[in-house]
Amino acid sequence: MARSALLNVMVQAALKAGKSLGRDFGEVQNLQVSVKGPGDFVSTADRKAEKIVKEELLKARPTYGFLGEESEEIKGTDGAHRWIVDPLDGTTNFLHGIPAFAVSIALERNGEIVAAVVFNPATDELYTAERGGGAFLNDRRLRVAARRALSDCVIGCGVPALGKRNHGKFLVELRHVMGEVAGIRRLGSPTLDLAYVAAGRFDGFWEAELAPWDMAAGILLIREAGGFATDWDGGATMLESGTIVAGNEIIHKALIEVVKRPVPAK
């Protein structure tokens, strides 16, 4: 596949940060770990990876803004472009030696995601997409799954961690979805969950209370793989609302209806 100069910059930044994470993975017992909040850990590996990504991206495009999980937002001087970065999505997996984590980089132009890179250094899987150019996994073209009935589907989700709100609300959603689908999976990395939808591994995905860096790259991957990714009302406020539902056209619509199903009266 042919990549633009911008996508090449993003890929190189992700691979360089991934190499650093790969060296630290498996050595988690020796990492200096601090608690950022209940169930939300941040390690030296997080900060080091974000520093690498930020330096690579801003060196190539110094006028662009930068929004990352581990540092203050930088407002770009050009006013149109912003990098949205999660240097280590799936930190808890990483710290437990579970090989489901990723570097996520998205480029936003005038409010639209136009390029995306997701890299899991533990599996050497590189997901890329550019608006209008398709989505790829290690240069293989991706398409979302074509299943048309929820009863045949495996659906990904996020589970609220310790300290998060709405545990009871999620359990209601889970009960509703469980009654309609073939199976439910939780990877512990929304970035990879969305990439799995783009790759056709998951038929759909839903989650609430996500940050922009959890979703930005995955949204474009899914759309460029022929799928739909919206907020829970079918709109485009995912980065603002923190909610997302994804799948092919039929499953996306059906999943929204199930997730938003009201709680039965007692």
Give residue-wise pLDDT tens across range 4-31: 999 999 999 999 999 999 998 877 766 6
Q: Distance (Å, rounded) from C-alpha 152 to C-alpha 155?
A: 10
pTM score of the predicted model: 0.93
Tokens of 226: 């022929």
Handedness of CA 241, 247, 248, 253 (dihedral sign): negative
Domain architecture of the chain: domains with CATH: 3-139 (3.30.540.10), 148-258 (3.40.190.80)
Residues paired with residue 116 on neighbouring β-strands, in sequence order = 106, 129
Q: Distance (Å, rounded) from C-alpha 266 to C-alpha 260?
A: 18
User: How high is the pLDDT of residue 163?
Assistant: 76
Helix (H, G, I), strand (E, B) or coil at 161: coil
Tokens of 201: 């591994």
User: How high is the pLDDT of residue 198?
Assistant: 98
Helices 212-224/190-198 angle, 10° precision = 0
Q: Distance (Å, rounded) from C-alpha 4 to C-alpha 10?
A: 10
pLDDT in tens, 122-138: 999 999 999 999 999 99
Q: Give the residues of the chain that fall short of pLDDT 50.
A: none
For the chain, list the strands marked E by DSSP.
33-37, 40-43, 65-68, 81-89, 102-109, 112-120, 125-130, 134-137, 140-141, 154-157, 183-185, 204-207, 228-230, 244-247
User: How high is the pLDDT of residue 176?
Assistant: 96
